[in-house]
Structure 1
Amino acid sequence: MPPSADPSVSVTLAEIARIAGVGRAAVSNWRRRHDSFPAPVGGTDTSPQFALSQVEEWLRRQGKLDEVGSRERLWPEFEALGDRDTMGRAIAAAGARLAREEAGHTTDTTHAGGPPDADAAEGLPYDTGLSDAQRSLVERAVGLARKHGARETFDFLLGRWLDTHVRQIGVTPHPLAALMAEVAELARDGEAGDVGAVLDPACGTGGLLLAAARQWAGTVDAPPSGVPLKLLGQDVDPTQAALAAVRILLAGHSPGRETVWEVDVRAGNTLRADPHSEVCADVVLCNPPFNERDWGYEELATDARWTYGLPPRTEPELAWTQHALSRLAPGGTAVLLLPPGVASRRAGRRVRAGLLRSGVLRAVVALPPGSAPPHSVALHLWVLRAPSGGGADAGAGVLLVDAADVQPEPSGKTQRTGRAAIDWPLLRRRVVSAVRVIQVGDEDGNRSADHAVVPVIDLLDDEVDLTPARHVPKRGTSANLGLRRSWNRFGALLHELRNLTATLSALELGDEEPAGQGTVTVGDLLRAGAVTMRAGQQPADGAVRTGDAPDDAVPMLTIADVLAGGRPSGWLPSREASAGETAGTLTVTVPEEVVVVGAYRAFGAWVDTGAPTVLGSQLFALRVDPTLLDPWFLAGCLRAPANARQAGTHASTSSRIDVRRLQVLRLPLDEQRRHGETFRRLIAFERSLREAGTVGGELVDGLTDGIAAGRLPGNRA
C-alpha cells in the first residue's frame, strides 16, 4: 500500500506498534536508539503523535514495515475523517464495493445507491456526500481487501469504528447474540429448520442478524438446503443501517459461492414509521434502546400494535415488546434484551398482566451484570411466542431463570474497565438447560436449582413482578461453587497477609521522634523544584465513556471511583486524552507519579503504577525529581492519617485537604528508598486486608443463606 495520501494524518506510539507488528516497548526503543526516527508533530511528552507518512517511510527504510500491519496503516486515515457518520459512510462504501466483488459484480465506481443483491436497502448512505479524497481512501481500502480478504478487512474497519464510538453506539456482545438466537430456537417447540425470516427492528450494526444467520442458515462452508433465510433489519441511524447491510452481505458471500441468505436492512424509525410494517417473521431478535422518553407516546396512543395494553410514557421497552409480537407470524418467537426494571416497575404492571393472561410471555431470564451495555446492570431476556391458530396456552406458566449469579471466569480474567469477564460457556449451559423446559415440557423442571415455572395466577398480584430472583430458589450447586471459590481466594489472601505480617510485625517503632529529623511541606518541595503538581480536571460532558474499552483507552479516575474502591469506572480514547492534555483541559498521569486525593472523606495517596490515568477534580498528580525524592516514600508520608488531619480545612463534612500543607520527612535519598520499600509492603498489607474483609463478608452471607434455607448437612425435616 502506498504511503498515506494525507500528510496531516498522525499516529500514536501504540498505533505505530500495531502498524509494525511489534510491542510498544520496541517502538520506544527505536526512538532512543535511532536519531533518524521521526520527530513528534503533536501530542504531549507522555503521549506524542507522529506524522503517519513519515513513520511509514522510516519503517520502510529500516525494513520494519510488516505486511501484517497493512490494515493498521489504513485505519488512522479513516479516523482522520473526523465525525462518526463520515467515517461510517466511508467504511460502508468500502464494504458495498467489496460485497459486489464477492458476488461477482465488480464495478468501476465507488458510488453505490444500495448494497449488492439488496435492492430493499435502497437509500442507505454509502459514499453519498464523500469527497474525492475520501473516495480515494475507499479505493485504497478495497485494494487492500483484495490482498487480505474482504470480510477480514471490513470487519477490522468496523471494529475500530465501534471502538472509537463505543459510548454512542451500543453493541450486543457476540456470545450474548448467539445465546439469544439459541434460546429462540429452543423456545419454538423444537421446530428446527423451518425459520424463513428473522427480523431485528433495532439492528444497529447487525450483530443479532448475523447470529441468526449462523443459527438458522449455516455458514458459507456449509450452506443449508431450501429457500435462503431472509434477514430483515431496520435502524433509526442510517449509518448503522448501512453498515449492518454490507456487513451481513459480506458474511454471506465467498468467492465462487452464492449467498446463503437474503438481506433487507432499511433506515427508519421503527415505532413511528416502521419500514417493515407488512412483515410476518418467524423470529424476532432485538436489543432495543433503553429509557427513551420520546418514543411516540402521544401520536401512537391508538396504535393497533398495543394488543396487551397501551405502554406508559415511561415504559418504552413495553412498546418494543408489543411491536415485536405484532411482527411475528402465528406461533413465531421473539427474544428481547431488556433492563431489569421492565419486569417490576409499577407503571408497566397492566401490560405485563396482559402478556401473562394471553400466554405470549413464555420466559424471563436474568443475566449477570456485564453481559451487555450498560455493564453495571443485570439485564433480562424476555422470550415471547405469538399466538398460533390454536390460541395461546395461558395456563402453562412462565419460566423464570435466575442466572445473575454466574461467577466470573475461573481464570480471573478481567475486562479493561476492571470488571470480571463473564464465563460465557457456563452462562450458556445454565440458560439453555433451563429453557429446554419450554421445548420439552419438562414436568420435573417446574421448580429446580436455578429456574422455576411459575403459574400465571401466582404472578397476577398487585405488583405483577416478573423478576426471577423473587420466585426462583437459591441455586445450591452454584452457591457451593461460589463458596469454594471464595474460600480459595480467602486462603490465598490469608497466605499473603501472613507473609506481610511476618515482615511488618518485626518493625519496632521508637517511642520518640529522632531529634533534628524535621519535616518539609509539599509547598516547600514545590518551591524548591523537587516536586511539580497538577490538579485534576472535569472533562467535558459526554467525553468519558463507560463499558468495554479498546486496548489503548486511558482510564478516568474520579472521587466517586475512589470512594467505591479505587477502580476507574470510565475511560477516554487515547487520542482525546492526548489532545486534552495538550490543550490543558485534562490531567493525565505518567508512571511513578504520586496521586493525592484532595477530599478528606476519600483521602489517600499512592504511586500510579498503571499510568496513564486521567484525573478528575479534587485529585492531584505530583511528579518528583528522582535525584531528590523517592515516589514511594513521598506517597507513604503523604497518606498518613495524622497528615490529613492537620492539612484539612475542617470547614464541613465535605472538608478538603490543602495538599501544599501536607508534610514529608526530611531524609537522605537512600533512607527515603528504605522507607519507601516499607511503605510498599504496608500498602500491599492494606489492600490484602481490605479484600480479605470483602471476601469474608461474601462467605458469611453465602453460608447464612444456605443454612437458613435448610441446606446444613444432616438437616432432617
Structure 2
Amino acid sequence: MSTPTAVPVSLAEIARIAGVGRAAVSNWRRRHDSFPTRIGGTDVSPQFSLSDVERWLRANGKLKDVCGLELLWPRIEALGGREESGLAVAEAARLMRAPRAKRPAFDISPEAVGLAREAARLGRAEGPRPTFEFLLQRWLETHVRQLSTTPPPLASLMARIALTLRLGEDDSSLTVLDPACGTGHLQAAAAEEYEGADLTLLGCERDPALAALAAARLGFVTEQRDIRTETATADALRDNPFAGRRADIALCNPPFNERDWGYEELATDQRWTHGLPPRTEPELAWVQHVLSHLNPGGTAVVVLPPAVASRKAGRRIRGSLLRTGVLRAVVALPSGSAQPHSVSLQLWVLRAAPASAAPAPPIQDALLVDATRFARPAPREPGPDWDALSSFVLSTLECLDRPDDDLPESAVRVPLIDLLDDEVDVTPGRYVAPGAEPSGTELAAVGTEMSASLADLERHLHYLSKLSFEAEEPHPTTTVGDLVKAGVLTLRAGQQPPDTATAPGADAVPLLSIPDLLADGAPSGLIPREAAQAVVEEGDVVVAGVVRAFKAWVHTGPPMALGPQLYALRVDPEKSHADFLAGCLRAPANGRQAGTHASSSSRVDIRRLQVLQLPLEKQMTYVETFRRLGAVETLLTQVADKGKGLVSGVSDRLAAGGLVT
C-alpha cells in the first residue's frame, strides 16, 4: 500500500489555520522542539505537513476557534491542477444547494469528489454562500498569475454606469450579457445593482473551470431572487453561443493582447459593422461583439487597456465608432484598478442607437474623463479610492445627455471634428486640461492646517525641552549581530526580484527600494509575494543599509517586500520593543560608525549597529521620546511642504491681481 502524499502548508497558511499572526508561528517553531519539521520549501519559505501541523496545534491547544475551511483548503489546493481544484469548488457549491445529489456534475477524481462533499457539509453548517465565496477567493488567490478577474468595486461601478445610461423603454425587465464572464463578478454586480424583478443573466466563458464557478456563484444569486441565468462554456468570438440573442446591457472585461482570437476564420463575420479588427486589435473585436448583442438604446461598458485608444491599427474602427455615435465616453481609471495593476486601464462606454421613430440629433462630441487622480498616494490600501472614484465617474457621466451641464475640470467634451484626425486618439489625458490654481478658500484652508501642525509641533517641542541628560557613565551597548545570536531579533535581507518572477496579481505586495526612499518614500512597484526574499509585516523594523539613505523605522502598514540594501528586523516582544530598537538604530552617529565611509553610496554593516542594553520595562521612557522625535520630524516636513505650497499659491494669485486693498 502506498503512503499518502503529505499536503504541504507554509508558515502563512499555518497562521491562518490557527488564527494568529505569522510572527507567532515563527516563535512557536523557534521555542518548541516538538514543532513539525520542514518537509519542503526553502529556509526563507519553509513548508510543513498539514497532518503533522494539525496534530501539533491540537496537542498544544492552538485550534480552539479555527474555521474548518482553513484546514480543508490546503487539501483542495493540493489536488494539483487548476481545473481539478476549481471544479471541486464548483461541485461543493452544487452539493450545498442539492445535498441529495448522488453523481458529480463534473469529471473529477474520487478524491476531489470527497473533498467537495466535505466542503458541502461544512457549508451547510456554516452558511453555503460564505463558504463558497471563501473557497472561490482562495482558489483565485492561488492561481492569480493565470487568471484575470474584475475587482468587485470596479464591477459594481460598471454595472451602475450601464444601468444609468441605457435608453430602453422597459424598466421592468433586464437582460445582461457578459461574453467573457470569468467567475461571474460582473453578472453578480449587475444582479446586486438592479432592483427590478425580471432579470436574465447571460454569460459565456471558454475555460471550463471558470464557467463552472460562474454558474455556481450565480446559483446562489438565483436562490434569493427569481433570476434566470445561462452560462455557456464556449469561445464567444469563434462560437458565439448567444447568436441572435439581445441584451439591454453588456458588461465585459475581455482578455488583453491575444493574437490568436480567430482573425482568419472570422474575417467575413457580420459582427464587424465598423470594420474587420486587425490581428493585433482583439479588444476591438470584443467591442464589436458586445455591440452586436445590444438592444436599441442598450449600453455596454468594457474594460480596455489604454493602448486601444491610440494604436494606429485601430484608428479606422475608432473613427467609425465615433461617427456613428456608438462610442459615447472613455474613462481613464487610476492604476491599480484591476489587473494588470501597473497600467491605467480605461472604461469605454458604448450605446446602441435608440429605436425612436423620430431621427435623433447627430452626435457632436464624445465625453473624455480622466479619473487617474483617484489613485491612493501610498499602497497601504490596495487599489484606488473607490468611493470617491465611483461618485466622480457616475456624476460626470450623468452629464452625457445634458450638454449644457458644467463638467468637472477632469472631464471634457471633445468635438468629433477634433477627434477624427489622422490618429483618432481618444485617450482622455490628451485632452483634459490641467487643474486650475487653488482658490482663495483653498489657500486659507492650507493656512489653517499649518496652524494646527505648528500647535502639535509646539507641544512635542515642549516635552523634548524638559528632557534631562545627566553626566553619567555611558550605558552598555550591544550590536544587532549579537541580538540576532541571542534570539532577540531575526534578520532578513531584501533582494532584487528575480527576472523570472511572474507578473503581480492578487497576492502581490508593494516593493520598496532605496531609490524609492530617496524619492518620496513610497513603494513604486509590485511583486508576487513568493518572489520576495524579505517581506515585512506590521511591527517589524526596517533599516536602510546605505549611508546616503540611512534610516530605521517601525513598519505600520500592510505587508511590504524589500529590495536590495534594505533589511527587516523582527523583535521578540517579550525581550525588546520595536520602537526602542528603531530609535536606537536610526541615530545618525550609528550609521556613520557602521558605514564603510568610502562614499555616500557605501553600505552600512547592519550587524555592527549599536543598541542600548536596557531591560524591557526601562525601554518605555525611551520609546515615548523616540516617538515624539519621529512626530517632530514628520511635522517639520509637513509644515515645510504646506508652507511652500502656500507661498507659491499666494504669489501666483498676487501676480494675477485681484487683491482687495
Q: TM-score, normalised by structure 1?
A: 0.72
> Structure 1 residues 291, 209: closer, same or farther in 2, change over 3 A?
same
- Aligned equivalents of 1:323, 1:701: Cα separation in 2: 51
Q: Is the 8 A contact 2:591 2:604 kept in 1?
A: no
Alpha-carbon contact 2:584-2:611 (below 8 Å) kept: no
1:104-503 matched pairs, under 5 angstroms? 106-110=100-104, 112=105, 127-128=106-107, 130-189=108-167, 191-193=169-171, 196-216=174-194, 218=196, 224-225=197-198, 229-253=199-223, 259-268=226-235, 270-292=236-258, 295=261, 303-312=269-278, 314-387=280-353, 394-406=362-374, 417-419=379-381, 422-438=384-400, 441-445=401-405, 447=407, 451-469=411-429, 471=431, 493-502=453-462
Equivalent-residue separation in structure 2 for 1:61 and 1:642 (angstroms): 47
Structure 1 CA distance for aligned equivalents of residues 434 and 279 of structure 2: 35
1:290 is displaced (CA, Å) by: 3.3
**Is residue 2:35 matched to residue 1:39?**
yes
- 1:656-671 map, 5 Å: 657-660=602-605
Q: 2: distance between equivalents of 1:16 and 1:327?
A: 48
* Residue pair 1:366, 1:380 contacting (<8 A) in 2 also: yes
Larger mean Cα displacement after TM superposition, 186-195 or 259-268: 186-195
Aligned equivalents of 1:612, 1:406: Cα separation in 2: 22
1:619 aligned residue:
566
8 Å CA contact retained: 1:536, 1:617 = yes
Residues 459/26 of structure 1: CA separation in 2 closer, same or farther (3 Å cut): closer
Which shifted more, 562-571 or 139-148? 562-571
> Kindly tell me: are residues 249 and 661 of structure 1, through their superposed partners in 2, closer, same or farther at Cα, counting changes over 3 Å?
closer
Contact 1:544 1:556 in 2 (8 A): no
Residue pair 2:537, 2:558 contacting (<8 A) in 1 also: yes
Paired with 1:355 and 1:560, the residues of 2 have a C-alpha distance of 44
Q: Are 1:647 and 2:596 an aligned pair?
A: yes
Q: Distance in 1 between matches of 2:340 and 2:440?
A: 29
The aligned amino acid for 1:379 is L
Partner of 1:536: 494
Q: Would the alpha carbon gap of residues 622 and 94 (structure 1) be closer, same or farther in structure 2, given more than 3 Å must change?
A: closer
Structure 1 segment 485-564 matched on structure 2, within 5 A = 493-502=453-462, 534-540=492-498, 543=501, 546=504, 556-559=511-514, 561-563=516-518
Q: Give the SS at the match of 1:445.
A: coil
Name the SS of the counterpart of 1:143 in structure 2.
Answer: helix
Contact 1:199–1:231 (8 Å) recurs in 2:
yes
Deviation at 1:137, TM superposition (A): 0.7
Checking the alignment, whether the CA contact within 8 Å between 1:98 and 1:150 is kept in structure 2 is: yes
Q: How far, CA to CA, are the matches of 2:509 and 2:633 in structure 1? A: 26
State the TM-score, normalized to the length of structure 2. 0.77
State the identity as a percent: 44
Distance 1:7 1:52, change over 3 A: farther
C-alpha displacement of 1:207: 0.6
Structure 2 counterpart of 1:238, which letter?
A: P
1:485-537 Cα shifts (integer Å, max 9, x gaps): 87776555544444445566789999xxx999999998999999999865433
2:581 paired residue among 623, 631, 646: 631
- CA gap 1:491/1:210 in 2 versus in 1, 3 angstroms: farther
Distance 1:138 1:491 in 2: 61
Structure 2 distance, partners of 1:347, 1:480, is 47
User: Which residue identity does 2:301 align to in structure 1?
Assistant: V
Q: Which one-letter code corresponds to 1:249 in the other structure? A: G
In the aligned structure 1, how far is the partner of 2:51 from the partner of 2:651? 60
Is residue 36–residue 53 contact of structure 2 (8 Å, CA) maintained in 1?
A: no
Judged with a 3 Å threshold, the aligned counterparts in structure 2 of structure 1 residues 288 and 703 are, in CA distance, closer, same or farther, namely: farther
Q: Report the CA distance between 1:547 and its aligned residue.
A: 5.9
Q: Is the 8 A contact 2:344 2:372 kept in 1?
A: yes
What is the match of residue 526 of structure 2? 570
How far the C-alpha of 1:335 sits from its partner, in A, is 0.9
Structure 1 residue ranges without an equivalent (≥5): 113-126, 219-223, 409-413, 581-585
Corresponding residue of 2:87? 89
Which amino acid in 1 is paired with 2:398? R
Q: In the alignment, is the contact (CA less than 8 A) between 1:535 and 1:621 conserved in 2?
A: yes
In 2, the alpha carbon distance for the partners of 1:364 and 1:538 equals: 37
Cα deviation for residue 261 of structure 1 reads 1.1
Q: Say whether the 8 Å CA contact 1:19–1:73 is kept in structure 2.
A: yes
Residue 70 of structure 2: aligned partner = 72
Alignment-mate amino acid for residue 570 of structure 1: L
Residue correspondence of structure 1 range 20-59 to structure 2 within 5 A = 24=21, 39-42=35-38, 51-52=50-51, 55=54, 59=58
* 1:244 CA displacement: 1.0
Q: In structure 2, what is the Cα distance between the partners aligned to 1:467 and 1:194?
A: 36
Letter in 2 for 1:359: G
